[in-house]
């Protein structure tokens, strides 16, 4: 047996992914590692995003950046460091963020006169600039976004889901009236909603946060929430009506058309690398990742299959190379296609393409070529079949769209199937353990005390008061008897255990 045959026959060990039912945290870590998405770094709580994971982020960014620009928002860049005194200017904000900041005390070999905080979010530094930039009503609206890294010192971290450093975009806009600010808050939420549906095939619930769950410094916070397969909810993106908190703390004022001094209205909104965690947890299965076509680095993988076991990848390349480039790569040039010409065995390649969650796998051997066909396998459904090579382009075009919609519908069904309506706290305690959303009438009161009690008692917290639809931005459902208190002013609210 010569060396090349030897190489061909070398069987790379295929690690087994721990079944989710057995250990969901080990399952997640196995998928991360085997799909080559991310790695643990030597710095506590910070992750390394590997090329395959980063490509998903690039696809997210490309799509979202376009949607954000279509709202008339322009990208800019503000400093990483924020003077500690800035954080202190808004009392809720400093209470919310100071405990989780990373603090720079030394620069250029010397102790700094004023400590710097590594941005956990950029309202304070941005408003300090807005106060220089906004003078008259003509300077409004001012719509800015930045794509940056932020740091929040988290106690328990999970790659993508909750990390001490993560990547996100943060939009910060100013308006001369509250209606426009509120509309912008909803427009941003709608961008996330539509992106998540169309590109991530994630069903999300849009709604308003309760007082205790809103952003530190906001008047109102809205979010899109998504249910993961393990029954826990994930907050995927948020959008805030900031009202006058930061604006006043940083003396942002403008003169209106009558030359009167006015206070502008503000919004901020963001989505982060956490979304990638959501995609893993909502779509993944025991074979690994299942990627929606909209965010798959490779939408299609082609695996050429030799005739005999002894054929090397070079032999296969010589046999199939021209055929593949003419009939597959050229035909599918508008999609993200990869051809696996590596030396590994077909079995290894199949398993690997499943771990990596590639939506469509195509297989091509001599039999297929003779019949002018190609074999296919659909990752999310397991569907298999053959198609005429002459139909390939149209079939791929249709199939990718179908997969995207079907994955969304399946996630929507899962979410609705796992949403339980309850009326009493006893019922609540019984069902909340099983995972999924629990829908109740809830009167949050005005001190957050009952939410806190419920959380301590059941580990569940409110996710949001859901909208009828993100377009209407009206709270769904009516008012009823609170499941927890004696109040009959409860509002439809979703609770869940969450990430």
Binding site for a copy of itself (CB under 8 A): 39, 41-44, 46-51, 54-55, 57-58, 74-83, 86, 98-109, 116, 118, 125, 128-129, 132-133, 144, 148-149, 151, 153-155, 164-165, 167
Longest dimension (CA), the chain: 91
Q: Which residues contact 486 (CB under 8 A, 6 or more apart)?
A: none
Task: Give yes or no for a contact between 39 and 347, defined as CB atoms under 8 angstroms apart.
Answer: no
Phi and psi at residue 365, to the nearest 5°: -130, -175
Task: Give yes or no for a contact between 323 and 369, defined as CB atoms under 8 angstroms apart.
Answer: yes
Cβ at position 131, least distance to a copy of itself in Å: 11
CA atoms within 13 A on the CB side of 53: 24
Choose among 435, 409, 447: nearest CA to 494.
Answer: 435
Q: Which is nearer to a copy of itself, 132 or 474 (CB)?
A: 132
CB burial string 464-484: b at 16+ within 10 A, e below: bbbbeebeebebbeeebebbb
Cβ at position 238, least distance to a copy of itself in Å: 22
Q: Which residues contact 325 (CB under 8 A, 6 or more apart)?
A: none
Cβ at position 289, least distance to a copy of itself in Å: 17
Q: What's the full length of the chain, in residues?
A: 499
CA atoms within 13 A on the CB side of 425: 13
Q: Which is nearer to a copy of itself, 120 or 207 (CB)?
A: 120
Q: Which is nearer to a copy of itself, 36 or 198 (CB)?
A: 36
Cβ at position 45, least distance to a copy of itself in Å: 9
Measured CA to CA, the distance from residue 233 to residue 213 in angstroms comes to: 14
Q: Which is nearer to a copy of itself, 13 or 308 (CB)?
A: 13
Q: Which is nearer to a copy of itself, 149 or 485 (CB)?
A: 149
Measured CA to CA, the distance from residue 237 to residue 472 in angstroms comes to: 18
Q: Which is nearer to a copy of itself, 99 or 385 (CB)?
A: 99
Cβ at position 350, least distance to a copy of itself in Å: 20
Cβ at position 447, least distance to a copy of itself in Å: 25
Measured CA to CA, the distance from residue 475 to residue 323 in angstroms comes to: 57
Cβ at position 489, least distance to a copy of itself in Å: 38
Measured CA to CA, the distance from residue 74 to residue 155 in angstroms comes to: 34
Q: Which is nearer to a copy of itself, 54 or 414 (CB)?
A: 54
Measured CA to CA, the distance from residue 390 to residue 396 in angstroms comes to: 11
Measured CA to CA, the distance from residue 261 to residue 264 in angstroms comes to: 10
Cβ at position 439, least distance to a copy of itself in Å: 35
Task: Give yes or no for a contact between 286 and 18, defined as CB atoms under 8 angstroms apart.
Answer: no
Q: Which is nearer to a copy of itself, 83 or 466 (CB)?
A: 83
Whose tokens are 């069987």? That residue is 11
The H-or-E segment that residue 60 falls in is: helix 51-70
Give the bridge partners for 374, in sequence order: 387
Cβ at position 70, least distance to a copy of itself in Å: 15
Give the bridge partners for 205, in sequence order: 225
Cβ at position 25, least distance to a copy of itself in Å: 21
Q: Which is nearer to a copy of itself, 46 or 378 (CB)?
A: 46
Task: Give yes or no for a contact between 193 and 202, defined as CB atoms under 8 angstroms apart.
Answer: no
């Amino acid at each position: 047996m010569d060396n090349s045959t030897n190489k061909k026959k070398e069987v790379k060990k295929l690690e087994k992914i721990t079944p989710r039912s057995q250990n969901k945290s080990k399952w997640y870590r196995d998928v991360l590692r085997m799909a080559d998405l991310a790695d643990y770094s030597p710095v506590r709580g910070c992750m390394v995003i590997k090329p395959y994971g980063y490509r998903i982020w690039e696809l997210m960014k490309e799509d979202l950046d376009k949607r954000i620009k279509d709202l008339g928002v322009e990208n800019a860049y503000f400093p990483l460091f924020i003077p500690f005194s800035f954080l202190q200017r808004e009392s809720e904000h400093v209470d919310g963020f100071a405990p989780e900041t990373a603090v720079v005390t030394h620069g250029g070999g010397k102790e700094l006169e004023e400590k710097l905080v590594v941005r956990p979010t950029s309202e304070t530094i941005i408003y300090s600039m807005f106060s220089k930039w906004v003078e008259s009503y003509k300077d409004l609206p001012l719509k800015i976004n930045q794509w940056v890294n932020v740091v929040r010192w988290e106690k328990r971290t999970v790659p993508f889901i909750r990390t001490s450093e993560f990547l996100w975009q943060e939009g910060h806009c100013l308006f001369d009236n509250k209606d426009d600010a509120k509309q912008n808050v909803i427009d941003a939420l709608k961008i996330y909603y539509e992106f998540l549906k169309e590109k991530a095939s994630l069903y999300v619930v849009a709604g308003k946060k309760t007082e205790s769950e809103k952003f530190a410094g906001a008047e109102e916070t809205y979010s899109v929430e998504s249910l993961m397969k393990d029954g826990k909810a994930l907050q995927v993106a948020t959008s805030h009506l900031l009202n006058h908190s930061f604006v006043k703390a940083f003396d942002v004022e403008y003169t209106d058309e009558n030359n009167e001094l006015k206070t502008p209205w503000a919004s901020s909104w963001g989505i982060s690398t956490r979304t990638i965690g959501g995609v893993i947890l909502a779509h993944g299965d025991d074979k690994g990742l299942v990627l929606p076509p909209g965010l798959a680095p490779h939408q299609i993988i082609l695996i050429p299959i030799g005739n005999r076991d002894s054929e090397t990848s070079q032999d296969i390349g010589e046999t199939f190379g021209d055929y593949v480039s003419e009939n597959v790569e050229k035909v599918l040039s508008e999609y993200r296609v990869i051809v696996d010409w590596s030396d590994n065995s077909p079995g290894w390649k199949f398993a690997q393409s499943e771990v990596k969650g590639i939506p469509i796998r195509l297989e091509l051997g001599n039999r297929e070529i003779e019949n002018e066909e190609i074999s296919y396998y659909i990752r999310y459904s397991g569907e298999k079949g053959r198609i005429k090579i002459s139909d390939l382009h149209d079939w791929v075009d249709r199939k990718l769209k179908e997969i995207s919609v079907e994955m969304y519908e399946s996630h929507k069904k899962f979410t609705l199937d796992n949403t339980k309506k309850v009326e009493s706290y006893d019922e609540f305690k019984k069902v909340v353990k099983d995972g999924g959303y629990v829908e109740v009438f809830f009167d949050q009161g005005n001190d957050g005390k009952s939410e806190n009690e419920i959380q301590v008692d059941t580990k569940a917290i409110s996710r949001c008061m859901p909208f009828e639809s993100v377009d209407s931005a009206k709270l769904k459902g009516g008012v009823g008897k609170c499941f927890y208190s004696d109040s009959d002013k409860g509002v439809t609210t979703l609770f869940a255990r969450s990430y």
